[in-house]
Chain A
Amino acid sequence: MTNFAIRTENLAKIYGHGRKAIRAVDGLALNVPEGSIYGLLGRNSSGKTTTIRMAMGLARPTSGSIEVLGLNPWPDPSRVEMLRQVAFVPEDKANIGLTVRKVLALNRSFYPDTWSDALARKVVDRLELPLDTSFIKLSLGNKTKSALASAIAQRSRLLILDEPTTGLDPVALDALLRLLVEDCTADGRTIFLSTHQLAEIEQIADHIGIMDRGKLLIEGPLDDIRASFRRVTVTGANLPARGPQILSARRDAHATQYILRASPEAFTTELTRNGATIVDSEPLSLSEIFLALCRREEGTQEEAA
């Protein structure tokens, strides 16, 4: 049986009342397996940060449920028990007005059982983090690195990172990805991160979820998701424009290009049986899958409106 680091059921968060109500998260069913590197992807205002806030006990769900490491993150004392086992890098990387050295020393005191000085030194070294520069003088990238160093050195069971790449240059980003894979997934520990950096997340994540407008569009192991999407170019007469597997269909002068999801092989077999010719069939990158799903959702919403 799979254990889940984070699990939500029909989770919803509504801000405001009446006509001004905003459904930031809408019926979310998220399953983050323990020991995975889970990337939560989504556009701006898709509900990623709100979901993370609910997971960290900073916001209360309007309805539905959320469990982090099997614990309810809102009420005390289960919230405290959960926070003992979770490291967190928030979206707002502004720290508490101290030098990096002092932030690390302070955070060390909060997690005496799991904190590693050696790992803190390693992260500081790898990310080339200035320890004694005053907070005001730190660049955005260094503020991000400071928050990351603090969280990684905690060696918690679950590491929640909200936009952890803000302000990082490519070298620092590469160093961070290596650190996450090498030092944060040992002993069945879980990384849950939300990001816009699709190319980078594709390198390290083994599970992904894509959110848009508060809803989860797709979730699962990255390899399974990649395998279930294909771009197929077809020629022939009477080709279908809609169908359960068709995410999008674009007709050119000579051929039709489909983006397909879920059993694309069955769809192409059916087309071939009806006399169509498959000109080309290729897998999609994560970025292409993301765009196709978001555009489809946008179209569905517009049709509904």
Chain B
Amino acid sequence: MSGGLIVFLEIIAPLVILIIYGRIKIVRARRKAEAEETSVVAPMLPFNPRTEPTPGPLLRPFSTPQRAYLRQQIALGKACFYMLAYVCIVIFTSGLLPPYVNRDGTVLPFAERVWYSYLEHAAVAEIVIVIFMLVAAMIALGGLTNGAPAIFNRTRPLTRSFLFWARVVPAIVAILASLAVGIVASVVLLLIFYGPVWLHLHDAATVGPFLSRARYWILAHGLLQASAPRIFLSLATTALLIFSAAAVFVSQPFWSSGKRRMTPLVTFLSIFVGLSAARMIRHADLPSFSRWSDVLFVYATVGPPPPYTYVLVPILASTALLLIAQFCVARKEL
């Protein structure tokens, strides 16, 4: 079975399980309803809400309405986290599948093959991240900019800035945490199945003469200069940057409930823009783009990493974009 097929099956498996589970639930509910029709109807339980649980140290500084809203957003963040963490684990570990490890034959020594395949898949994950960040921004800010949920949220006694940051911060935490879980899980699996391969990389000068020119280039200019921590750091900063840019996009007036006819077009355009951005990132090693990819700390191919100092650029740009998004959401009319 090819590696691509395995990854595809891994990604769609939860969807299939969810569909089957949903179907079983519907059938059970229908049977229950049929059974209730033939028996005495149980009386409806009265409205007796539970008192608010004692807030933890994180929620204690907030007022009761703020806590109610934050609990909702944290629950949404958790759901996003589970989904994203699963996707990250699948993508980061896909490079460890034997079809990928041995994709280019056995010219490179084993440790190099494993490490190269692992890093390459982690770097390519930036493309998937772009799509997920667009969706995450739509989910996070849709509740303030569109339809009945936005009207409900914006007519509760909470400031607009609180409404915004209480949605954005849990979303960002969920994104970063899911990346961290994906990285940790993939490293653990790497250690379990292959051991600490990064400790066994050969020197390019020693191995070089025995390799073809192309393989030598990969080894000398790619693998041995690659920095795993920077690949993962770049994933986090790029995710943050894309999320913030998508947040600005979602908060624009054309993304409004009053112009629903535009929504399919705008959604299509956003996916198109996302895919184009993903393509640009994928080809970040092109000379015309490499400078910008360095400055934005985009590290999407195995090779020389961008300097650490540039990590501040996407963080500052994301902060600026989020402030713009907050301003736009606050001014947005429903």
Contact = CB atoms under 8 A, between A and B. Distances in A.
B44 A57 contact: no
B109 interface: no
Given A109-B67, A109-B68, A117-B47, A58 B151 contact: yes
Interface string A106-132: 101111100001001100100000111
Interface stretch (A2-10, A95-103, A261-269, A291-299): A95-103
Interface in B53-71: 64-65, 67-69
A120 B48 CA distance: 10
Interface stretch (B156-164, B197-205, B264-272): B156-164
A76 interface: yes
Interface residues of A, number: 38
Contact of A84 (B148, B151, B157, B161): B157
B142 to A, nearest CB: 12
B155 A56 contact: yes
A132 B148 CA distance: 20
B49 interface: yes
B154 interface: yes
Given A84-B157, A110-B65, A105 B149 contact: no
Contacts of A109: 52, 64-65, 67-68
A97 B334 contact: no
A230 interface: no
B214 interface: no
A200 interface: no
Interface string B131-165: 00000000000000001110110111111110000
Given A59-B333, A112-B65, A88 B47 contact: no
A108 B154 CA distance: 16
A90 interface: yes
A179 to B, nearest CB: 15
Contacts of A76: 159-161
Nearest to B334: A58
B263 interface: no
Interface string B30-56: 000000000000001111111010000
Contacts of A53: 333-334
Nearest to A112: B64
B152 A96 contact: yes
Contact of A117 (B49, B157, B161): B49
A110 B154 contact: no
A12 to B, nearest CB: 14
Nearest to A102: B49
Contacts of B157: 80-81, 83-84, 110-111
Contact of A121 (B47, B50, B52, B149): B47
Across the A-B interface, give the 8 residue pairs with the lowest CB-CB distance, nearest first: A109-B68, A94-B148, A83-B157, A84-B157, A105-B49, A58-B334, A59-B333, A76-B159
12 contacts: A80-B157, A83-B155, A90-B148, A90-B151, A93-B148, A95-B152, A96-B148, A96-B152, A97-B149, A109-B52, A112-B65, A117-B47
Interface of A: 53, 56-60, 76-77, 79-81, 83-84, 86, 88, 90, 92-97, 101, 104-106, 108-112, 117, 120-121, 124, 130-132
